[in-house]
Amino acid sequence: MNTIIVRKNPKKLLILICGALIALANPALSSTFDEDLKRVDEALKTNPSGVLRQSLQSCLNQRNSAVGLYRAGMRTQAERSLRYCFDSLRIPDTAAAPKVAALTQEDLRARANQEYAKALALTPDVVNGLAIYRECAACHQPEGWGTITGSVPQIAGQHRNVVIKQLADFRAGNRDSVLMIPYASTEAIGGPQAVADVAAYISTLEISVDNGKGTGRQLELGKRLYQDNCADCHGDSGEGDDGALVPRLQAQQYKYLVRQFQSIRDGKRRNANAEMVEQIHEFSEREMNAVLDYSSRLMPAEEFRAPAGWKNPDFK
């Protein structure tokens, strides 16, 4: 996939996008695909819904991929890739646009579980996992530490099976993320083997303990809530459980934990554990902030921690 860096300057953004559109122009496209492509190109130029810069970059990547797929004769995949832009840029649909019957929650879950099982049974190639991760590093950083803003989680040292499951859910539509789809899709990185490979690589990364945390004002309450509600699954020290697909919480970015807790509590995260949804449903904002502040301060064992000043040597 061609990667085009989008700068903060809106004029430079317009120049970069226009250059990409001219370079990929293809008069041989079908009328339906061509019309959708024109609508996407116009939205990329004008950004009528005012979406984030990252969404513009993601859509541009997916748009370019769609044209490449169409040229290669993969029309269904191309149209699906292009339709991603309609969602991410909030382009109104039209009566003439092709309609696809919505999959049920059971369909999405079954699709994700099928790929998870396939990927889990494969022998991972960590070298190829690094090659794939180089694209992921644009957001997750070479070290996999994410950002304290909460938009990107720390994934370094996350359990391999957990990463496979979450990737399978993203790819199947069983978990939402506007930014993840263009980079994690089958068209972008490949099939189950790619999922197995990149998950294995991510699990080898050393964990930063210099993560974002909360205010520290309600840690006693947070500890009590964690022990009463979270420790049975996530472990006393937040170590998670690879076999049970319970993620590691240790040194996770506090604001990311808040975003996911809210999404799970409010029933917006489709792949959430039903027992957890029920358990945290009545948490107040104070209780949520307290337990997640405490959780973000749980630290991994010494052998999993990145030493001070560590940089990923694979990116030198």
Residue 277: which pLDDT band, with cuts at 50, 70 and 90?
very high
Residue 19: which pLDDT band, with cuts at 50, 70 and 90?
very low
Q: Contact 89/40 with Cβ under 8 angstroms?
A: yes
Q: What CA–CA distances, in Å, run from 128 to 2, 161, 249?
A: 18, 17, 27
Position 179, amino acid: L
Nearest to 238 by CA among 292, 202, 302: 292
Give per-residue pLDDT as tens, 111-147: 999 999 999 999 999 999 999 999 999 999 999 999 9
What's the pLDDT score for residue 26? Answer: 47
Per-domain boundaries in the chain = 10-88, 105-316
CATH architecture assigned to 105-316? Orthogonal Bundle (1.10)
In the predicted structure, residue 96 carries a pLDDT above the cut 60:
no
Task: Please state, in angstroms and rounded to a whole number, the distance separating the CA atoms of residues 161 and 52.
Answer: 31
Buried b (16+ CB within 10 A) or exposed e, 124-147: bbbebbbbbbebbebbbbbbbbbb
Give per-residue pLDDT as tens, 159-202: 999 999 999 999 999 998 878 877 898 888 999 999 999 999 99
Extract the tokens encoding 60. Answer: 């541009």
In the predicted structure, residue 57 carries a pLDDT above the cut 50:
yes
Q: What contacts 299, CB < 8 A, 6 or more positions away?
A: 209, 237, 250, 251, 305
In the predicted structure, residue 30 carries a pLDDT above the cut 70:
no
